[in-house]
Amino acid sequence: MDFTKIIQVPDEDGNPVDVTENFHATLTDGVAEIFQVDSDNNHTSVVLQPWKTQDDGSRADWTDLNEVVAWYQAQA
């Protein structure tokens, strides 16, 4: 599943600016993987996450790919 995420990065003066990055997510055998996608459509793995962390710190299985994408987009 392709998706985008807005990331704040510093400009040349050190001020934060928003940059939209492209990503691709997979969920295979319960393991989520997030890839950053560049302008040439190259996929670079940035996260391999075998479980989702619950609010109480425990682990749970991913429900579906939409949940994986929502989790990654919520990360700072």
pLDDT in tens, 35-65: 999 999 999 999 999 999 998 999 999 999 9
pLDDT-based confidence at residue 4 (cuts at 50, 70, 90):
very high
Reported confidence tier of residue 75, pLDDT bands at 50, 70, 90: confident
Number of domains, the chain: 1
Residue range of the domain that includes 49: 2-9+20-74
Q: Is 65 part of a structural domain of the chain?
A: yes
Q: Would 25 be classed as within a structural domain?
A: yes
CA distance linking residue 38 with residue 13, whole number of Å: 25
pLDDT given at position 49: 96
Report if residue 34 sits inside a domain: yes
Whether residue 15 lies inside any domain: the answer is no
Is residue 37 assigned to a domain? yes
C-alpha span between 51 and 17 (Å, rounded)? 32
pTM of the model: 0.86
